[in-house]
Chains A and B, each alone.
Chain A
Amino acid sequence: MDRRKLDHDDLADDVPAFLLGALDAGTCDAVSKHLDDCPTCKEEGRRINEAIGALGVLAPSAKPPADLRGRFLSSLQSEEPPDIETETIRAVTPLWIRLGLIIAVILVVIISWIVLLSR
């Protein structure tokens, strides 16, 4: 790769190929960073991405296997983020520990107080 510093136009020229995944390794990181930093290229990138997505409908139509939907929907069950029950257990456990500690501290204070008074 050319080692001179890439200017805006060089990077902007590579944006379409980068988004298409057709850019050869070398300038990919620089283009990616430029897309984050340059509002003009970001907007152009947004439009190019829309076009790239829309091109996908040109693939010859094929029917997915009948059981694919069912498999996907069952996988939702196992890919559930932590549910309310788990959250509740997590929230409750420290509360019990905290309550236990508070009671223990109070007991220690009372016993010490009684011991001190009885001297």
Chain B
Amino acid sequence: MIASPCSESTLSNLSDQDLIERVIARDHEAMAALYDRYSRAVYSLALHVVHEQRAAEDVVQDAFLTFWQRPQSYIPERGAFGPWILRVARNRAIDLLRRGSREHIKDDDRGYTFEQQIVDPEPEPSDLIWNRTVAARVREALTELTGPQRQVIELAYFRGMTQSQIAAYLDTPLGTIKTRVRTALSRLARIMAEEEIWTDAS
């Protein structure tokens, strides 16, 4: 049965974990509620990586369908559902990017950067509150990194570059890039864990 709009309002009060348990019990409406909660964030991320609407749609479908088919692949003890589904989607998007032509990546005008996000944190009015809250906290955490550290994370994260590709792109020794990636991510992880950045979207 396809979820009816009425059922969303009641299910939308449930925590992610409650919805996940219902998904394991093959509840379509719970799956629809989780989809409604995260699909916009997943789509935004996918589109920003692949730069193509159809491919981004495929990433969204794949990520949520994979979860529907094997809900046990998400292990709650390892962290919240939100970052997990975003990671699943990003991995898929990076795969598509690497398999396809890299031409459009080279042509990327580099118009969007973390730097911009830090100084210009104007959220879309339609963004969900939790998304705005998490985004604000992540931005805050990023200010703790140096500019070059943010740059390497961004190149790897959104453009799918490996460390040696980043080294070539920035004309910087590979060892320096490796240190930046390692230091930046470990630091971000520590800050985010301490601040409990991720809030349940319910």
Contacts and interface: CB of A to CB of B under 8 A. Distances in A.
Interface of A: 13-14, 16-17, 19-24, 44, 46-65, 68-69, 71-77, 79-81
Contacts of B44: 59-62
A56 B190 contact: no
B28 A50 contact: no
Given A61-B40, A73-B3, A55 B153 contact: yes
Interface of B: 2-3, 26, 28, 31-32, 35-36, 39-45, 47-49, 53, 56-57, 60-61, 64-65, 68-69, 78-80, 82-87, 89-91, 94, 112, 114, 117, 123-124, 126-127, 131, 134-135, 138-139, 142, 153, 156-158, 160-164, 166, 178, 181-182, 184-186, 188-190, 192-193, 197-198
B193 A13 contact: no
Contacts of B126: 61, 63
A47 B48 CA distance: 24
B182 A59 contact: no
A46 B188 CA distance: 13
Contact of B86 (A16, A24, A57, A74): A57
A79 B26 CA distance: 11
A3 to B, nearest CB: 18
A49 B65 contact: no
Given A21-B162, A52-B87, A59-B158, 7 more contacts: A23-B162, A44-B186, A46-B78, A56-B89, A57-B41, A61-B123, A72-B65
Contacts of B135: 57-58
Contacts of B64: 72
Nearest to B138: A54
Contacts of B79: 46, 49-50, 53
Contacts of A23: 162-163
Contacts, number: 184
B18 to A, nearest CB: 19
Nearest to B81: A53
A55 B45 CA distance: 9
A58 B86 contact: no
A100 to B, nearest CB: 34
B163 A22 contact: yes
Q: Which 5 A-B pairs have the closest CB atoms?
A: A53-B83, A56-B86, A16-B185, A59-B48, A22-B156
B14 to A, nearest CB: 18
B163 A17 contact: yes
Contacts of B124: 61
A58 B139 CA distance: 8
A50 B189 contact: yes
B83 A68 contact: no
Nearest to A47: B189
